[in-house]
Structure 1
Amino acid sequence: MNALLKKYRHNDHALGIFFIICSAFCFSLMSLFIKRAGSLPTFQKALFRNLVALLVATVLLLRAPGGFKPKKGSGFGLFMRALCGTLGLLCNFYAIDRLGLADANILNKMSPFFAMIVSAFIINEKPNRVEILCVILAFVGAVFVIKPHAGFSASFPAFVGLLGGLGAGTAYAFVRKLGLQGERGPVIVFAFSAFSVLLCLPFVCAHYVPMSGTQLMYLLLGGTAAAGGQLSVTAAYTHAPAMEISVFDYTQVLFATLWGLLFFGEIPDTWSLIGYVFIIGTAVFKWYYNLYLKKG
């Protein structure tokens, strides 16, 4: 019996890793499709990306027992998750259009480190000294990627990409708070998607740029890939705890580097590669610390 339970837990852990890598693959494809859509306004790209997620969340809630009704007291958390997530998404898309795919993705992957900081204020989860050191090292890596010595105009898109990581990290902290309050996942996704669509719609109406059939196809593919990423990451964390598998989410940077090389001829420079080592290395150490050293 014990052998069966051990085998089941091992398989569950393997499934968790598989799904988190699938999520990273999907989100890297989202970045690729958004960039391939060409020179369209950021709000227009965000609108079409979130229309797909809104459709998926709506279908899920129509079939769910509780419908669209959120938990009592979740209103502020849902609003803040939607606002921060939308601002983070807009910053991320802005960076994708102006940076190499790998740089844009690694800056967005600063979100777990931002989440550690803001969680101290949102849900009173105080980071310990090791976690504070990890945040500092990750920010050192971000500085290498941003390259402030290159001048304001050159480093500004990277700085906006870092702000995208801040928005995403703050949104994740509010997702955790909502989860602790018992709010359902589809409600959180629906609120975020609906808010994003409503926020982007006026800007798109005022500054709409006609799209070719190919551009529309890429935007819809980007939205589909993002929906696949959301479903995959949800499946991953139902099979294994975040502290055991979250480090594998950084494979997104590897996928993005491959797409950038194959489709745009992008090769990260030495400064960016040093930054990747700092950020991914710190994430790996934090994963190892949480999984093994902290317990000991």
Structure 2
Amino acid sequence: MPSIPERLRGSPLLVISSLMFAVMAFCARTVAGRLSVGQVVCARFAIGLVFLAFYFPLTRTRPRMGRPVLWALRGLFGGGSVYCYFVAIDRLAVGPATLLNACWPICAAILGIFILGERVNGYLATGLMATTFGAGLVIWSTVQGGLALTSGVGAWAGVASALLSGAAVIALRALRGDTDAASIFLSFCLFGLLFGLPFALQDWRPVTPDMVLPLLGVGLSSVVAQMIFTYAMGYVTAAAGGITTQLTPAFSWLLGALLLGEPLRPLAMVGSLVCMGGVLWGTGLVPRLLLPAARPAP
């Protein structure tokens, strides 16, 4: 994207990326109940593979798989996360499902302690408590009025998607030292497709012409969102980037309410604010922006 003016790079592009991820969730929601979750997952990753089939020849590059086991795990964790995320979208409204998935930074931070030996701090501990409480409010709001089974399954699928996303990010971080972003994206699409294919074949439903456009929307919006995100992160700090990407749940909630007529439950809205605040605080994004930097010792 060399022609983009410098003032429009970074955060403005991350806002667009967050909106495109929300569009992906919205498109997936429009076919909920008509197609199986496995079919929607396969559509997303198949379109990603088509994109890469053009990307590598045009850029005259080849995929690199320096550590095949870790490369495959990144794809399997990512594919499992997307499947659980789409289950949550299928069973819940778009907003709550996206909010629960957006807890992945906390999950990644916790997994980093055990897998990468990273240190825990007060921000992570308090952020984890806030995020857990906020997610609990969102889950409770979805199952109020009789503890509906479908809502309960959707809520826990959202939690599982965040956990698996955290594991996928840990694998990605371990790979980035010797593997390029496109090769990692290839793992995501390839193993994600293989993960979703058995579920699609088990519960295959007829694809009617009116479903083609939403399925294309799922795949194309996800590719655009991830490519813009990767480009934009080269122009912002990790703190600013992390805060901007938390717009995705807000955009998802807004699209669901305006275009699908999904309800805005007050308890879920409160839980979402607490949850996003916990993520931003626990990962150190807000403290780094708000608190003064420590002065060097004389």
2:116 to 81, 102, 123: 123
Partner of 1:27: 21
**Offset of 1:14 from its aligned partner?**
5.9
**Offset of 1:12 from its aligned partner?**
5.6
Kept in 2, the 8 Å contact 1:115–1:170? The answer is yes
Kept in 1, the 8 Å contact 2:38–2:198? The answer is no
Matched, 1:141 2:138: no
What does the per-residue CA deviation read over 1:195-232, in whole Å, with 9 as the maximum and x for residues that have no partner? Answer: 11123224323432111111122111110000111011
> Quick check: 124-133 or 43-52, which moved more?
124-133
> Quick check: 21-30 or 193-202, which moved more?
193-202
Partner of 1:194: 190
SS, match of residue 233 in structure 2: helix
**Offset of 1:65 from its aligned partner?**
4.9
User: Separation in 2 of the partners of 1:114 and 1:13?
Assistant: 33
TM-score for the superposition, normalised by structure 2: 0.88
**Tell me, which stretches of 5 or more residues in structure 1 are unaligned?**
1-10
Kept in 2, the 8 Å contact 1:37–1:216? The answer is no
Partner of 1:172: 169
Kept in 1, the 8 Å contact 2:73–2:171? The answer is yes
The one-letter code of the counterpart of 1:134 is G
Partner of 2:160: 163
Distance 1:174 1:99, change over 3 A: same
Matched, 1:97 2:90: yes
**Offset of 1:136 from its aligned partner?**
1.6
The one-letter code of the counterpart of 1:242 is A
Distance 1:91 1:269, change over 3 A: same
User: Separation in 2 of the partners of 1:174 and 1:224?
Assistant: 24
The one-letter code of the counterpart of 1:83 is L
Distance 1:173 1:209, change over 3 A: same
SS, match of residue 64 in structure 2: coil
The one-letter code of the counterpart of 1:37 is V
Equivalences for residues 159-238 of structure 1 within 5 A: 159-179=156-176, 181-238=177-234
User: Separation in 1 of the partners of 2:70 and 2:201?
Assistant: 29
Structure in which a larger fraction of residues adopt helix: 1
Kept in 2, the 8 Å contact 1:122–1:174? The answer is no
Equivalences for residues 28-67 of structure 1 within 5 A: 28-39=22-33, 40-67=35-62
Would you say how many aligned residue pairs link Structure 1 and Structure 2?
A: 283
What does the per-residue CA deviation read over 1:10-43, in whole Å, with 9 as the maximum and x for residues that have no partner? Answer: x868621112111110010001111112321111
**Offset of 1:64 from its aligned partner?**
4.1
The one-letter code of the counterpart of 1:157 is G
> Quick check: 90-99 or 280-289, which moved more?
280-289
**Offset of 1:125 from its aligned partner?**
2.0
SS, match of residue 147 in structure 1: helix
Distance 1:113 1:284, change over 3 A: closer
